[in-house]
Chain A
Amino acid sequence: MNIFRLLGDLSHLLAIIILLLKIWRTRSCAGVSGKSQILFALVFTTRYLDLFTNFISMYNSAMKLIYLVCSYATVFLMYFKFKATYDSNHDTFRMEFLVVPVGGLAFLVNHDFTPLEILWTFSIYLEAVAILPQLFMISKTGEAETITSHYLFALGSYRALYIVNWVFRFYTEGFFDLIAIVAGCVQTILYCDFFYLYITKVLKGKQLTLPA
C-alpha cells in the first residue's frame, strides 16, 4: 500500500458516497445514468469474487464489501425506490455494445485462462468503459448538475491516482500488471475532456454545460 493507492481508493469511495448521498437527499436520480451504475455493479461483482478465494487484508476485504454494497444500493435506489425520477429517455446507450466486445477481449487477452481470471480481466476492461453511458447522457442533455460533476471528478481521479501508484510500484517493487495499466490509462483518458470542463467551469462556480 502506498499513498497514491490509498488516495485513489478514498477518491473512489468518495465518488460512490457522493452519488448515493445526492440520490438519497434529493430523493432523485435525475441526470444519473442507471446503465453506468449497472455496469459498475457488474464490474465489482465479477472482480471481487476473489473475496471467497483470496484473502489479502482486512482493509482490502472491507473496501471490496463496501464498494459492492454501495453499488447495489445505488442501482436499487435508481431502479426501484426513486424510479419515477430516473431519466431513462436520455439514458439510451446500449450496454451490450460495451459488455459483448469487452467479454470477447477478456477471453482473448488475459493472464490465465481460468474462470476467475477471465472474470477479473472482464471487470478491468469493463470498468475502463463503464462511464461511457454517463458521459453519453451528459452529451445528450448538454449539462450536468454540479454534484454529478463532483462525482465524476472523484471517480476519474481514482484511476489517475492508480496510474501514479503503478509507476511507484514498478520502481519500488518491480510490480506491474499490464492489463490493469493499459485499461487504467484508457479509463483515465476517457475522463480528460470532462476534467477540462470541470476545471474551467465547475471550479469557477459555474454549472457544467457543454459548448453548443
Chain B
Amino acid sequence: EFVGPKHDEL
C-alpha cells in the first residue's frame, strides 16, 4: 500500500 504524501497540491 502506498503511504507516501497525498498529492493535493497543483
- B7 and A120 contact, CB distance less than 8 A: yes
With a cutoff of 8 Å between Cβ atoms, the chain B residues found around residue A175 in the complex are: 5
Q: Is the CB of A5 within 8 A of B4?
A: no
A60 lies within 8 A of B10 (CB): yes
Q: How many interface residues does B have (CB within 8 Å)?
A: 8
B2, B9, B10: the one within 8 Å of A67 (CB): B10
Say whether B4 contacts A60, CB under 8 Å.
Answer: no
Q: Are B7 and A64 in contact, with the CB atoms below 8 A?
A: no
Q: Name the one of B2, B5, B8 contacting A56, with C-beta atoms under 8 angstroms.
A: B8
| Structural contact, B2 and A112, CB atoms closer than 8 A | yes
Which residues of A sit under 8 angstroms from B7, Cβ to Cβ? 50, 54, 120, 177
Q: Which DSSP category, helix, strand, loop or mixed, fits chain B's interface? A: loop
Q: Does A172 contact B (CB under 8 A)?
A: no
Across the interface, B5 reaches (CB within 8 A) one of A63, A114, A177, namely A177
Per-position binary interface string of chain A over residues 113-133, scored 1 when its CB falls under 8 Å from any chain B CB and 0 otherwise: 010010010000000000000
Query: In the complex, what residues of B have CB within 8 A of residue A117's CB?
Result: 2, 4
Q: Mark A169-207, 1 if CB is under 8 A from B, else 0.
A: 000000111001000000000000000000000000000
Q: Which residues of B contact A87 (CB under 8 A)?
A: none
Chain A contacts of B8 at CB under 8 A? Answer: 56, 60
Residues of A at the B interface (CB closer than 8 Å) are: 5, 9, 12, 50, 54, 56, 60, 63-64, 67, 111-112, 114, 117, 120, 162, 165, 175-177, 180
| Residues of chain B having any CB pair with chain A under 8 Å | 2, 4-10
Q: Kindly list 8 other residue pairs between chains A and B, CB separation below 8 angstroms, not including A111-B2, A176-B5.
A: A5-B9, A50-B7, A54-B6, A56-B8, A60-B10, A112-B2, A114-B2, A177-B4
